[in-house]
Structure 1
Amino acid sequence: MDDRGALYGDAAFARHTLVVIDFEGLTPQGRPLVPVEVGACAVKASGGDLAEVWRFESLMAPPAGVPVTPWDVRQTGITEAMLATAPPAEQVIAALDDRLTEPPYRLVAHHAATEAALIAGLRSWCPRLAAVPLLDTVRLARHLYPRLPSHSLDTLLAHLGIPRPAGRHRALPDAEVTARLLRRLLAEGGRTRWRSLHDLDAIGGLAPKRPPHRPSEQPGLF
């Protein structure tokens, strides 16, 4: 068995479905990122490679009072008119959560801390999704290519010769190209870095993000 086969032959890795996920959002001044689109591409080990199992994408209506700025439109191409008829975020994320019917899972994202934070903010509607550990392709890439000046998605695509998708900065195209990046990272790292899911978790793993603890109000003593 070659080094790549060692990872794909790992029983824990083979059991897991990897859900490569990406959010696009609005950037209102003085507020956290507001998600307005999600894309996910679920893949699983099959024959020494990753085979797609399912995919999911949807726009999400932002809360009232959150504008779509010209910068947002330039970045993603998502306009206010496109979001006017989109379902609310809680409905979309609940529908994605409903897809997680055959555990175990790992979420995969590029700079996964961002996705973890957005999912944590929506956890009331996606309890299964919010409990899934993550793998960060940035962390895996830093481990493989420590001398690269940047580990942004575009830099890694250029370094590895992976074509930049036509819909770059839309959620599903970014999830799909991150899945392509993941395939390359698993193949190249399998030669020297990771031979099991445990190895991947140790190098690129990220625990689900928990929302800040807010103590309940205590009744007055007097």
Structure 2
Amino acid sequence: MGRLTEDPAFRATTFVVIDFETTTPTGYPAQPIEVAALALRCLDGVWRETGRSTSLIRPPAFAPVTPADTAQTGLTAEQLEAAPAPAEALGALDRRLTAGTPYLLVAQHAATEAGIIHHQAEHCPTLARTDFLDTIPLAKRLIPNLPNYKLDTLLAHFGIPQPPDRHRALADVEVTAKVFLRLISAADEDPRLGGLAALVKVAGRTAKHNLPVQSGLFDM
């Protein structure tokens, strides 16, 4: 193992790869219809899965599943009718995070997942205050000159097979986790990434709920 994975802060952190499938109603932010998460920890130089979770989510009435959503994910309105509401599904995921444990969420294009969590923060307050690592800027640092940094491109680069249910949350989490581990392996050999702080500087994204609140210009 290299300098990054020998860093005590890195070893103390649980990395939670997360992905949402959504429907995007006009005039509203994206609404989750499925979530999956996979927790990973580097223990004694070996990556171990420490938990996983997946759930369908019933969207609100103003955000019905469209034919385009079904074409993308395979999920239908009928499948989601009996699914738990966001409060139940995201609350259950939130409660799996242990108080006092350092976490980082990991996502491909983390801005998307960060935005969904921010808008659902009342249901998942712990998730909403958990910062992110984004695989895209990390891949750009470690693998320059790819034609793009979409997930499918990174899968092809690393020779990771496309899952048959690509664009379902759990399948996407599992392959994103594989990409993340390949990137960490490369980062471990990069002298510029000698610890968790350096990794966060390159690929970190602060959760919106952790950003300072700016007072209005004329607030007294």
| TM-score of the aligned structures, taking structure 2 as reference length | 0.91
Partner of 1:117: 115
Partner of 2:51: 54
**Distance across 2 between alignment mates of 1:30 and 1:147:** 37
- Root-mean-square deviation (Å): 1.9
**Distance across 1 between alignment mates of 2:110 and 2:15:** 13
Which structure 2 residues correspond to residues 73-222 of structure 1 after superposition, within 5 A? Answer: 73-101=70-98, 103-192=101-190, 193-210=192-209
Give, as a single letter, the amino acid of the residue that structure 2 aligns with 1:191.
E
**Distance across 1 between alignment mates of 2:89 and 2:131:** 20
Gaps of 5+ in 2: 216-220
**Distance across 1 between alignment mates of 2:158 and 2:183:** 10
SS at match of 1:132: coil
| TM-score of the aligned structures, taking structure 1 as reference length | 0.90
Partner of 1:219: none
| Residues paired across the two proteins, number | 212
Instruction: Please state how far the C-alpha of 1:49 moved relative to its aligned partner.
Output: 3.3
Contact 1:37 1:58 in 2 (8 A): yes
Partner of 2:24: 27
Give structure 1 regions of 4+ aligned residues with deviation exceeding 4 angstroms.
none
SS at match of 1:123: coil
Question: Higher mean Cα deviation, 16-25 or 166-175?
Answer: 166-175
Instruction: Please state how far the C-alpha of 1:198 moved relative to its aligned partner.
Output: 0.7
Question: Which whole-Å deviations, capped at 9, do the CAs of 1:19-51 have from their partners, x for residues lacking one?
Answer: 000000012234322111000000000232321
- % same residue: 48
Instruction: Please state how far the C-alpha of 1:188 moved relative to its aligned partner.
Output: 1.1
Gaps of 5+ in 1: 216-222
Give, as a single letter, the amino acid of the residue that structure 1 aligns with 2:91.
A
Partner of 1:220: none
Instruction: Please state how far the C-alpha of 1:146 moved relative to its aligned partner.
Output: 2.4
SS at match of 1:39: strand
